[in-house]
Amino acid sequence: MSNFRVSRCFRPFDDVNEYQLHHFCDASESAYGVVSYLRMTSEGGQVHCNIILAKAKLAPLKKMTIPRLELMAAALAVTMDRKIRKELDFPLNESVFWTDSTIVLHYIRSDNKRFRTFVANRISTIRDASEPRQWRYVNTEKNPADDVSRGLTPDKLNGRWLKGPSFLCADEMEWPIAPADLQVPPSDPEIKPPTENASAFTTQSEEKSLERLINTYSSWYKLRRGVSWLLKFMQWLKLKGKTQTEQELRDFKRISYDDMQKAEKRILHYVQKCFFQKEIESLTDSDGKVTKTSQLYKLDPKIVEGLVRVGGRLERSALPLEAKHPVVLPKGSHVSDLILRDVHVKAGHSGRNYVLSVLREKYWMLGAGAAIRSMISRCVMCRRQRGKMMSQKMADLTENRLLPDEPPFSKVGIDYFGPFEVKRGRSMEKRYGVMFTCLTTRAIHLEVAHSLDTDSCISAIRRFIARRGNIKEMLSDNGTNLVGAERELKREIDGWNKAQISADLLQKGIKWTFNPPTASHFGGVWERQIGTVRKLILAVTKQQVLSGESLTTLFCEIESIVNNRPLTSVSDDVNDLEALTPNHLLLLNRKPQLPPTVTDRSDVYSRRRWRQIQYLADVFWRRWSREYLPQLQRRERWVPSHRNLQIGDLVLVADANTPRNSWLLGRVLQTFPDKKGFTRSANIKTKNSVIVRPISKLCLILEGDC
């Protein structure tokens, strides 16, 4: 390459009066490229050629045919012509493009054929920047672009490569001429078959167009409007080239009522042809009857204006024609669903019977009752107005309610109730009740709280711990005061643990678990007891105003009454044991004393009191396991399992303080399944914030995969 030289000057003489660009393109299996020359003619008729630019590209890794590669080279040639013309300041004549591929020349000059996408896109690029008459044929031996696609050694670069082929210096009459038989066989794979030709709309293509339209639209009105435009376009194609008046041209630019009716009739005719082909053939025969096995047999169908309608028994009625002989619609068709949804919306999202009556004023749908029920169950507006809250199979009982042999109130549930007005001097003040429920023995403990703030809640909890012992686990609703109390109590207990106290008296932290907000059924253990306490308070006080001391005394008495309730069934047989109560473990006695008389009295009436207490506790837990626990086996509510809430579902968040129309819409961000995989609560993103709600406060509007 050290001996290769290219002159930087294009013009060999100063009297040039004509400039012309010649682009040669070629392709092989490994590469394709273009080489461009500037042809200059002087005033005396002398011709000189000089290379301007050359460009080569490797063939794509994906295997391609030679005609496609030749076409890519031709597209590259027009691109280079555009760039060179932008850079040169010479007054250039019309460019000439050369190729040795007769197929490419045929592609470029074809106006009456439709090609596949790859070829069509590149032909469009070529014809945007050039005219078919600018393209000429050159033999492969005379094509310098052949060196671009196949390679050239350095010692041959100083010949044809720099000056171009010899015929460029000759007169235009001596340039190569394309063969006379410049044709492409009809079997060329790049030409679309006649069935794909859209120049004429056949009946088959019309049916395919209707099918695509029907499956695209989700509105009956928009579907009719779309088919109306399709039919008008087809009519315009048929009349194209004929003389049309101004009124006819205006009619093509708008949709009229008659156009909508024609579109509706065309859609219904297509749907009936798809689903009732055998019935239509039977009705058009000489007898005009359908077979007994047909689903239309009892309707006595007939064909009116090309549509299958109900014959029926109302011929002599005063009803309109459409009501006497409604159009028959198939079950499960997309068009039937669109019509049903349109009738349901126009009927104001009414119930099944009213929608069915409105539908049969014009249409008779097979299996309409089930279809309407299914449609109403999927209607977003109906779900929002009348949808039920979600539910799930009742969960298994937790371990804190099933494990015996622990001191009472080791695991408790806490909740507030009230308020109660008490008299203090001449003024009236409010007091609140704080209930602690033992999750295992179902015993209760009542405390009086002077307010609903965090300090009062902590004080009630500390009084309870001082009287009943330390708590291992505490469950409660997500109340504001309880959340604050849990935070401060943890901080205080952490302080106790850091103090220099004996290891035997080292305080243990309390595990405090909160139920999801507004999930009162999560705390059914203590909510039921609060109802019992309220009932007793109303029965005892009879709306009397108490003092603070009287209220405390009343709470203690009610606590004793509730703890004396039977946990097991009460028997009429005098030989049976008395019913088990929480007081049997709390007080270790009841009127008749527990346990019953046994043979070995030395162990029952031991000198050491702790042995008697241990014995009584063992008897309680043994009876608790045998008589009380089996009663908890049955699921009284929420027996069947339902669909789990999924991430992405659209839900309505229930709020008891606002009307249903004002409930917030939300999207499920995260679900919280239990050990068996059932979702009980979820994180919901609303327009304001992200909240946690149980599924009982959520109404499913739209599934996430819809």
Of the three residues 386, 420, 452, the one that is the final residue of a domain is 386
Q: Identify the pLDDT of residue 7.
A: 77
- 316 lies in the same domain as 369: yes
pLDDT, tens digit (0-9, with 9 covering 90-100), for 385-418: 888 888 888 888 888 888 887 888 888 998 888 7
* pLDDT of 498 over the 70 cut: no
The DSSP element (H or E) to which 70 belongs, if any, is helix 66-87
Q: Identify the pLDDT of residue 278.
A: 86
pLDDT, tens digit (0-9, with 9 covering 90-100), for 135-188: 999 998 889 998 888 888 877 777 788 888 889 888 888 888 877 666 666 667
- 432 lies in the same domain as 333: no
Q: Identify the pLDDT of residue 437.
A: 92
Of the three residues 125, 158, 174, the one that is the final residue of a domain is 174
What does each C-alpha distance from 226 to 145, 198, 216, 346 come to in angstroms?
Answer: 52, 19, 10, 21
In-domain check, residue 224: no
pLDDT, tens digit (0-9, with 9 covering 90-100), for 621-651: 787 788 788 888 888 888 888 889 989 999 9
Averaged pLDDT, 100-106: 89
Which residues form the domain of 666?
A: 643-705
DSSP state of 643: P
CATH number at residue 650: 2.30.30.30
* Number of CB atoms found within 10 A of residue 313's CB: 9
Q: Identify the pLDDT of residue 8.
A: 77
- 669 lies in the same domain as 532: no
In-domain check, residue 216: no
* pLDDT of 706 over the 70 cut: no
In-domain check, residue 237: no
**Looking at 118-122, 177-181, 218-222, 500-504, which range is the least confident one?**
500-504
Tell me the two tokens of residue 520: 């009162």
Q: How confident is the model at residue 492 (pLDDT cuts 50, 70, 90)?
A: low
CATH number at residue 284: 1.10.340.70
Give the separation between CA 701 and CA 650, rounded to whole angstroms.
Answer: 5
In-domain check, residue 404: no
Q: How confident is the model at residue 592 (pLDDT cuts 50, 70, 90)?
A: very low
Residue with tokens 């089930």: 370
Q: Identify the pLDDT of residue 596.
A: 43
679-685 and 327-329 strand pairing: unpaired
Percentage, residues of the chain above pLDDT 70: 85
- 317 lies in the same domain as 423: no
Q: Identify the pLDDT of residue 641.
A: 87
Mapped onto helix, strand or coil, the DSSP state of residue 179 is coil
**Looking at 143-152, 369-378, 452-461, 589-598, which range is the least confident one?**
589-598
- 297 lies in the same domain as 429: no
- 420 lies in the same domain as 517: yes
- 379 lies in the same domain as 488: no
Q: Identify the pLDDT of residue 207.
A: 65
Q: Identify the pLDDT of residue 682.
A: 92
* pLDDT of 328 over the 90 cut: yes
In-domain check, residue 501: yes
Mean of the per-residue pLDDT values of the chain: 82
Q: How confident is the model at residue 312 (pLDDT cuts 50, 70, 90)?
A: confident
Yes or no: say if 204 and 260 are a contact pair by the CB < 8 Å rule: no
In-domain check, residue 636: no
- How many residues does this entry show for the chain? 706
Residue with tokens 């031996």: 141
pLDDT, tens digit (0-9, with 9 covering 90-100), for 33-63: 999 999 998 888 888 888 899 999 999 988 8
In-domain check, residue 146: yes
- 364 lies in the same domain as 415: no
pLDDT, tens digit (0-9, with 9 covering 90-100), for 352-370: 899 999 999 999 999 999 9
Contacts for 358 with CB less than 8 Å, ≥ 6 apart: 343, 346, 347
**Looking at 90-99, 247-256, 329-338, which range is the least confident one?**
247-256
Q: Is the dihedral of CA 207, 208, 209, 215 positive or negative?
A: positive
Of the three residues 119, 144, 174, the one that is the final residue of a domain is 174
CATH number at residue 588: 3.30.420.10
**How many structural domains does the chain have?**
4
pLDDT, tens digit (0-9, with 9 covering 90-100), for 276-307: 888 888 888 766 788 888 888 898 899 888 89
Q: Which pTM does this prediction carry?
A: 0.53
Q: Identify the pLDDT of residue 489.
A: 61
- 344 lies in the same domain as 442: no
- 608 lies in the same domain as 648: no
Considering only CA atoms, which of 512, 525, 510, 531 is closest in space to residue 582? Answer: 525
- 356 lies in the same domain as 495: no
In-domain check, residue 631: no
Would you call 58 exposed, middle or buried from its count of C-beta atoms within 10 A (0-12, 13-18, 19+)?
Answer: exposed
- 382 lies in the same domain as 413: no
Angle (CA) 608-611-614 rounded to 5° is 150
